[in-house]
Amino acid sequence: MLTGKQGWHGVCGAMLVLLTACSHAPRHVAVDPANPAAKGHWEGRLTLRVEKTPAEQFTTSFEMTGRPEQGELSILSPLGTTLAMVRWNPQGASLQQGAEVQQFASMDELTLRLTGAALPLPELMAWLDGAGPPVKGWVIQAEALPKGRRVGAQRREPLPGLQLTVLLDPNP
C-alpha cells in the first residue's frame, strides 16, 4: 500500500479529481454521450480528505483527459510540473511518479489500494459535466459557479470516509 506523498498523489489522480498550473489555459470540454469515442477534458483544483485519525488532506492542481474506459490524469505542482500521472484503459491502470511506475489490473484496483475503496470513476466523470447518477455510499453535489464549476463528493461507506472537492476551471 502506498503511503505519504506517493499515496496522496495517486489518490488525487484516481479521484479525477484535477487542476492545472497558471501556465496552462483553462478549459473544460465535456464528454459527448452521443459519441462513445469522444474524450472529455477537465482542469482545475482538487482537495481530498481522508476521514481517519488523524485526518489526512491533500490539495493539488490537475488535468484530466479521457472517458471512463480510457484516459489519463496529471497531478501538477503549483509551478505546473507533473508530480504524478495516472493512465487507464481496458487492460489496466498505471501510476507513474518520476521513474517509478506501478501497474494495477484496473482503476478500481488502483483506487481500492490507495483509498480503501474502489472509486466510481464513470459516475464521477458524469458529475464533472453536470448531474450524474446516484452512487451507493456517496453523496455527490455539483454546482455552477460564476467562474467554473464545483463538484463535492463524500463517501460515507465503506470507511474511512472520503471528501473530494473539485473546482473546475471555466471554459476559455
Q: How does pLDDT run across 42-87, given as a tens digit for each residue?
A: 899 989 888 888 888 889 999 999 988 899 999 998 888 999 999 9
- Pick the range with the lowest mean pLDDT from 18-27, 35-44, 69-78, 146-155: 18-27
User: According to CATH, what is the number of the domain 4-168?
Assistant: 2.50.20.10
**Where exactly are the structural domains of the chain?**
4-168
Q: What is the 3-state secondary structure (H, E, C) of the chain?
A: CCCHHHHHHHHHHHCCCCCCCCCCCCCEECCCCCCCCCCEEEEEEEEEEEECCCCEEEEEEEEEEEECCEEEEEEECCCCCEEEEEEEECCEEEEEECCEEEEECCHHHHHHHHHCCCCCHHHHHHHHHCCCCCCCCEEEEEEEECCEEEEEEEECCCCCEEEEEEEECCCC
